[in-house]
Amino acid sequence: MKTLLGVAAAAGAAFALGFASMSLADDPTPHFAPWGFDLAGRDTTVAPGADFYDYANGTYVKNLVIPPDRSRYGNFDALSALSEDRVHTILERAAHDPAARGDEAKIGDYYRAFMDEDRINALGAAPLAPFLPEIRAARTPAAIAQLMGKANATFFHTFIGSDVQVDAKDPTHYAVYLGQDGLGLPDRDYYLEPAFAAKKAKYQAYVAQMLTLANWPDAEAEAKAIVDIETQIAQASWTLAQDRDPTKTYNPMTPAELAAASPGFDWTAYLNAAGLGSATRVVVSENTALPKIAAIFAQTPIKDLQAWEAFGVVDSAAPFLSKPFVDAAFEFRNKTLSGQAEQRPRWKRAVSAVNRAMGEAVGQVYVAAYFPPEAKATMEALVANIRASLVARIQRVTWMTDATKQRALQKLAQLTVKIGYPSKWRDYSALRIDDDLIGDVNRAAAFEWRRRLNHLGQPVDRTEWGMTPQTVNAYYNPTQNEIVFPAAILQPPFFDPAADMAVNYGGIGGVIGHEMTHGFDDEGRHFDGTGALADWWTPADDAKFVVQTTRLGAQYSAVEPIAGTHIKGDQTMGENIADLGGLLLGLDAYHMSLAGKPAPVLDGLSGDQRVFLGWAQVWRGAIRPDALRQQLVSDPHSPETARVNQVVRNVDGWYAAWNIQPGDPLYIAPDQRVRIW
């Protein structure tokens, strides 16, 4: 439900850590010389109006070698790598410090358990022992439904996903959400589109390989049955674009009504096993898919459902098992699906695992060591400027009636902002960590699910964060009407207090504007200022909004990043609207910050030109073809080249700043440019 920026997750003061804190004020040297933008990374043989992404980033991209253990690399990823290094330092220290106590000791223990490769290899498939017999013993549909109900708290897989989230129509309370699940490939397209036939065939071989490693009988035949089951589920499943409709995905009903509408699946057994047996109301997302998925369940032989569960457990547990499992999962999941050439070093995988299991315990140490308090105040001032720019834009739009404008302004006034880290840290004291890695992973999942279950019946806790502070990303959360910026994104290339402010307004200013615009994109606009899914639009305003977004969708759908594969304009609509709003707001806020004074010229570049370069630099990078293909079908974000070129060509100020003329390849006539906010 949250809308992210990019692709596609102990007691602070008590830790007297010796890390050198980054200081904002004392470091006058920008990260990117000479003034925050890497001029040498441009390709000045390319005209800005021909390909602005290449003009701004071309030499960097041409010389870039994607590290063998990555499927993409660029400025965004380099910052993620810095965060990874820092968490590595934190975990090494916690793992080897005999004085570590509480959560710091736990993250150290978890890390040590992951790094103990000798022990893990010696155990082989033994850590699967608690799970596979339970699957063999599940010989009835009700027993399989029970396994599926336990999916959130174990390694079991499920045809039906469950979650406890803020109720979209009553955002002061939580609700039980149920939806489609059950696919082992990144998206339904991988099962249904001819372009993915080779990947699907390799998936079937991978399923057979995993079942063989787990000593499951009839591996080859069961692999075929499993892929057939998932293909049926894929056919029944909604697309990512359909899932972006907050109204159509809100279908409240009683469990009895759900069971009547979707016969063939033991909903009572499932809900009881999930810990949701006392729920009197559930919100179903894909209400036309669930009856079909229940029917697929009913007609699948028990032995195939058992094999499907066995594969699911092994697939999920593989990264925490011995080398044959790790290698097999890497070969398929990373190499075949994403084109990644080499396995990531073990410590990097350990960092990801600890971040996933105990992210706020890590984050608390991270913030104490690496987040300068002054960054928060600077960020608050920037957010205020961007908000003022959006107020002015809403007041100026010509297509919207005054009544709807007032509601939009009211929603913007109610928007709340979180910067850096949570005011209240998560309490991990009930989570036990020891040297049994599979047990740790399982207990962490169960701990997290218990935490969510405990929300039911409680008032909504507005202090919670959906990302850890060490995550390089940001999000808008529509049911809280809030924008959230973790500490780790407040660094170059996004934010550099030593850099020229125009570059910062194009970078972090654009990011703030992006998240703020999500509140008014094709999805966020259906929520009001309190976070409730409650339409505040007149039909006439609604129709005019759709005219603009339809035009934007057509622009993106025309882009073909891989021969034969286009951007999905509907799937990426919200992110594309947010990118357009983000850049416009960054530019406006920069102008506002000049307070009537002329912008300085640096290296022959005007202030406005540097705002556009700052935006382009954020998205500078490269991606492997298989990863790009995966992004195009399974990610709501457009590829980075489009996040630059398709955005700037709708911005009037870009034409003025770079003297773009009719005949330039990116040129769009003024009356055809998309103007939403």
Specify burial of residue 123 (Cβ count, 10 A radius: 0-12, 13-18, 19+): middle
Q: Where does this chain touch Zn ion (CB under 5 A) — which range of 3-11, 109-117, 456-464, 617-625?
A: 3-11
Query: Do residues 206 and 328 lie in contact, with contact meaning Cβ atoms separated by under 8 Å?
Result: yes
Distance of CA 171 to the CA centre of its chain: 22
Q: Which of 169, 179, 141 is nearest to 288 (CA)?
A: 179
> The tokens 């007032």 sit on which residue?
406
x-marked contacts with Zn ion along 257-296 as a string, rule CB under 5 A: ----------------------------------------
Cβ 489 to Zn ion shortest distance, Å: 12
Nearest by Cα to 633 from 580, 581, 578, 564: 564
Closest CA to 154 of 430, 448, 436: 448
CB of 57 to Zn ion, least distance (A): 20
Q: Please, which residue, 37 or 476, has the CB nearer to Zn ion? A: 476
Which of residues 422 and 582 has its CB atom nearest to Zn ion in the complex? 582
Using CB under 5 A as the binding rule, whether residue 358 contacts Zn ion is answered as: no
| 512 near Zn ion, judged by CB under 5 A | no
Q: What is the nearest approach in angstroms of Zn ion to the Cβ of residue 581?
A: 10
Residue the block writes with tokens 């939580």 = 174
Decide: 31 and 75 in contact? Cβ < 8 Å.
no
Which one, 499 or 584, has the nearer CB to Zn ion? 584
- Stretch of residues binding Zn ion (CB under 5 A), selected from 5-13, 318-326, 638-646, 657-665: 5-13
Rounded to 10 degrees, what is the CA torsion of 100, 105, 111, 112?
70
Q: Does 511 bind Zn ion (CB under 5 A)?
A: no
Q: Is the Cβ of residue 572 or residue 630 nearer to Zn ion in the bound state? A: 572
CA distance 524 to 479: 9
Q: With CA atoms as reference, report the closest residue to 60 among 37, 33, 40.
A: 40
Taking each helix axis as running N to C, give the angle between helix 289-299 and helix 219-236, from 0 to 180 degrees, rounded to the nearest 10. Answer: 160
Q: Nearest distance from residue 5's CB to Zn ion, in Å?
A: 5
C-beta of residue 628 within 8 angstroms of C-beta of residue 635: no
Q: What is the Cα–Cα distance from 392 to 255, expressed in whole angstroms? A: 47
Closest CA to 281 of 180, 169, 181: 169
Say how many residues touch Zn ion, by CB under 5 A. 4
**Interaction of residue 472 with Zn ion, rule CB under 5 A:** no
Minimum CB–partner distance for residue 476 and Zn ion (Å): 7
Q: Which is nearer to Zn ion, 3 or 231 (CB)?
A: 3
Each residue of 143-162: b (16+ CB within 10 Å) or e? bbbbbbbbbbbbbbbbbbbb
Backbone φ and ψ for 405, nearest 5 degrees, come out as: -55, -45
Q: Which residue number, 51 or 77, has a Cβ lying nearer to Zn ion?
A: 77
Cα(first)–Cα(last) distance of the chain, in Å? 22
Q: Which residues pair with 163 in a beta bridge?
A: 177
Rounded distance between C-alpha atoms, residue 592 and residue 513, angstroms: 14
Nearest residue (CB) to Zn ion, 282 versus 472 = 472
Q: Which of residues 556-575 bind Zn ion (CB under 5 A)?
A: 575
Pick 469 or 582: Cβ nearer Zn ion:
582
Residues 6+ apart with CB under 8 A from 424: 463
Q: Which range binds Zn ion by CB under 5 A, 233-241, 523-531, 539-547, 578-586?
A: 578-586
DSSP β-bridge partners for residue 553: none
- Under the binding rule (CB under 5 A), the answer on residue 642 touching Zn ion is no
Angle at 515 between CA 637 and CA 674, to 5 degrees: 65
State in angstroms the smallest separation of the CB of 518 from Zn ion: 6
* Residue 516 binds Zn ion (CB under 5 A): no
Find the shortest distance in angstroms from Cβ 565 to Zn ion.
Answer: 22
The verdict on 578 binding Zn ion (CB under 5 A) reads yes
- Pick the closer one to Zn ion by CB: 433 or 578: 578
Choices 23-31, 238-246, 317-325, 577-585; region in contact with Zn ion by CB under 5 A:
577-585
Q: Binding marks (x or -) toward Zn ion, 135..174, rule CB under 5 A?
A: ----------------------------------------
Q: How far apart are CA 360 and CA 368, in angstroms?
A: 12
Of the two residues 49 and 513, which places its CB atom closer to Zn ion in the complex?
Answer: 513
Q: How far is the CB of 514 from Zn ion (least distance, A)?
A: 6
CB of 222: closest distance to Zn ion in angstroms? 40
Task: Specify the residue, 312 or 574, whose C-beta has the smaller distance to Zn ion.
Answer: 574
Q: Which is nearer to Zn ion, 2 or 88 (CB)?
A: 2
Nearer CB in complex with Zn ion: 286/515: 515
At residue 68, φ and ψ (nearest 5 deg) are: -60, -25
Stretch that binds Zn ion, among 215-223, 430-438, 576-584, 595-603 (CB under 5 A): 576-584
Residue 84 corresponds to which amino acid? E
| Residue 284 or 511 having the CB closest to Zn ion | 511
484 binds Zn ion (CB under 5 A): no
Shortest Cβ distance from residue 523 to Zn ion (Å)?
A: 10
The distance of closest approach from Cβ of residue 473 to Zn ion in the complex, given in angstroms and rounded to an integer, is 9
- Cα-flanking dihedrals φ and ψ of residue 230, to 5°? -65, -30
211 binding Zn ion? (CB under 5 A): no
- Amino acid found at 330: F
User: Taking the complex as a whole, how short is the minimal distance between the CB of residue 515 and Zn ion, in angstroms?
Assistant: 7
Residue type, 671: D
Minimum gap (Å) between residue 2 Cβ and Zn ion: 9
**Residue ranges in contact with Zn ion by CB under 5 A:** 3, 5, 575, 578
